[in-house]
Amino acid sequence: MSVVIGVLVAILVFGLIIFIHEFGHFTAAKLCGVKVDQFAIGMGPAIFKKQKGETLYALRLLPFGGFCSMEGENEESDSDRAFCNKKVWQRIIIVAAGAFMNLVLGFIVVVIMISVQDDITSTQISWFEDNAASHNSGLMLGDEIKSINGYHIFSEIDMSYQLQSDEDGVFDFVVERDGKKVELNDVEFSKKDKVLHIDFKVLPIDVNPLTVCEYSAKTCVSYARLVLVSLKDLVLGKYKINDLSGPVGIVDVMSGVVGDYVEDSGIDWYRLIQQLLSLAALITINVGIFNLLPLPALDGGRLVFLIIEGIRRKPVPAKYEGYVHATGLALLMALMVYITAHDIFKLFG
């Protein structure tokens, strides 16, 4: 039962994220006067098509991916409504709009997630357990944690990530104490069964429109930075390519989340929705940030060529840009095939 619900939830989440991304391109294109030939959600053969005006709207079989096909996007055109004939700044807006809308969606999801909580988790210490190692080595009640091992702390997500990713249980903190920043070196935590034991609690904050907006923005920054930090760790070898997950792996994670909160006695809707909202926010922000990376075949790669065109005041020859994006797309598809195959092997292995 949890697997079926997990798959349905994953399809809905992916569908919404893809729709928002492509709708960003679509809306920006329309506002800039570009003709949109086709707006599609999903990939593969179409299971539903409808022509409305100049645009063909399609729902395709595979619920991952989508596209907004514009006239003059990948070829030359004499039409003044072609993408290729619009000003550079207009094309930059159109290309960046998809990722921007993913980030906007992430913020909205986080706002909803935080708004339904009883309180907001801060980064200010409000309690220590008896004989707490961290208290004995420098932390005090009222300290607001600003950084851990040089990693700036925006939210409790940053704090949890940095504390749990360390190995020796010894940290360098920067805290705000009585209005001043204080550096605390070699703050220690105990370990239980090789797991770091967090021996303090932080102050809860009342939920109101101001605190929701503030902490939603901080949470989105934390999620976005996690994407970049994870990519850096992957490049530096801290993580291996087999640690990556694709759509199949994400479906498995969602099924696990659903299974945790679906019991014979009923469904813990509050905790289930909170966890799913958190996952959805992380995924859509991940998609937004990843698409802005300056890599071939991604929106970020196309932005690089547009910026170069703006600086040079003439476009890079289309055939060379096409070669770069085609190569990047082939490599990206090969990576996705590998990750998907590995996810399936882990699922059934």
The residues that are catalytic are 22
Q: Which residues contact 4 (CB under 8 A, 6 or more apart)?
A: none
DSSP state letters, 61-114: EEEEEEEEEETTSSS----TTSGGGS-HHHHHHHHHHHHHHHHHHHHHHHHHHH
Q: In this structure, are residues 181 and 174 in contact, taking their beta carbons and an 8 Å threshold?
A: yes
Residue type present at position 37:
D
Q: Helix 269-291 vs helix 88-115: angle between axes, to the nearest 10 degrees?
A: 160
Best CA proximity match to 70, nearest among 37, 101, 117: 37
Q: In this structure, are residues 14 and 284 in contact, taking their beta carbons and an 8 Å threshold?
A: no
Q: In this structure, are residues 13 and 280 in contact, taking their beta carbons and an 8 Å threshold?
A: yes
Please state, as a whole number, how many other Cβ atoms lie within 10 Å of the Cβ of residue 16: 16
Q: Is the dihedral of CA 226, 232, 234, 238 positive or negative?
A: negative
CA angle 197–148–187, rounded 5-degree value:
55
Total residue length of the chain: 349
